[in-house]
A = this chain, B = another copy of it.
Amino acid sequence: MRIPRRLLSVLRGEGPFLIAAHIDPDGDAIGSSLALSAALEAAGKKTFLYSRDPLPKYFAFLPGRKKFTARLREIVEEDPVLVLLDCNSPERAGIEGRRFRKAVVIDHHETAKEFGDVRWVDHTAAATGILVYRLVKALGGRITPEIATNLYTAISVDTGTFRYSNTSADVLRVSAELVDAGAEPNRIADHLYETWEYKRFRLLVAALNTIEVRDGVAVIHITKKMFRDTGTSAEDTEYFSNYPRMIGSIRIAVLLRELEQRGWKASLRSKGAVNVARIAERFGGGGHRNAAGFKTTSDLKTIKDTLFQAGRRSRR
């Protein structure tokens, strides 16, 4: 958790700073980036915020979000210091092939990458937002309501609003200080969890209707027709694979989504000790112990049978 001294001196040094979130940015990447940008600007530095991909619409409430741009060229011309947030290689941020006079990495993902002149990678941190909180304090900055809202959102997203196993006393204590500084827990939770479009809700219900449960495995699926009927797309399915986890007997929850071209994409989530990465590997995919995925051109029945079989085996 110790902040590298060189990190502080780089951030106290000459800007501008290009703060880059990873591709397909999540709440931790976006909130951490906005918070660091606000803190550096309050200290008189110039910052740019880069996201290759558009921000998901449910983060539209985050203060400062309009500072994000996907245009890199003009920024690079200003010779900025690169700050990678919530990722640790230029490829993950979608900015490979550029040269920067200095590059900084602030991340909490486990990694073998060695990119960056200064690296602060702490995989014991629940969120990059926690690291940025420490950083802003160490830089002597004030936690403004804008910074507090962004960091509280970052932490909320990466801890499932204090439900995942990375929720520590420290996480709760930092969050308490962010509330003191102006973050509003109820407003943020409403934005994160209660702003679904009706069509997305209808897609969820359609998916839940397909549920099949066997041997501790729950599988739901979404066909191309279901997307068409509800006017939704793949990005609307985020977090869907969490729903079957509500069932106590389920150890593996799977969402199968029919691909535009051919075949299916599977998202696997497990509870407890079951390692879904190993199941995904059998299909040529991969991931983490509790969250993994794969793509396959097998038919629905074959995929499901294989998953149920994996469930039986994982029980032993």
Contacts and interface: CB of A to CB of B under 8 A. Distances in A.
Contacts of A176: 169-170, 172-173, 176
Interface string A146-179: 0000000000000011111101111011011101
A248 interface: yes
A186 to B, nearest CB: 4
A198 B185 contact: no
Interface stretch (A8-16, A187-195, A230-238, A259-267): A187-195
Nearest to A160: B189
A179 B168 contact: yes
Contact of A185 (B162, B180, B196, B209): B162
Contacts of A173: 172-173, 176
A165 B189 CA distance: 9
A-side binding surface: helix, strand, loop or mixed? helix
Nearest to A184: B165
A289 interface: no
Interface string A271-290: 10000000000000000000
Nearest to A198: B247
A111 interface: no
A118 to B, nearest CB: 30
A226 interface: no
B162 A197 contact: no
Contact of A186 (B165, B208, B247): B165
Nearest to A179: B169
Contacts of A190: 271
Given A176-B172, A208-B205, A197 B163 contact: no
Given A167-B185, A205-B209, A247 B161 contact: no
Interface string A227-252: 00000000000000000111111000
A247 B163 contact: no
A12 B172 CA distance: 32
B165 A247 contact: no
Nearest to A172: B176
A194 B162 contact: no
A23 interface: no
A168 B193 CA distance: 19
B163 A186 contact: yes
A160 B162 CA distance: 11
A125 interface: no
B169 A247 contact: no
A201 interface: yes
A211 B197 CA distance: 14
A172 B179 contact: yes
A125 to B, nearest CB: 16
A213 interface: yes
A298 B215 CA distance: 44
Contacts of A205: 205, 208-209, 211
3 pairs of A and B residues whose beta carbons are closest in the complex: A172-B176, A163-B189, A195-B248
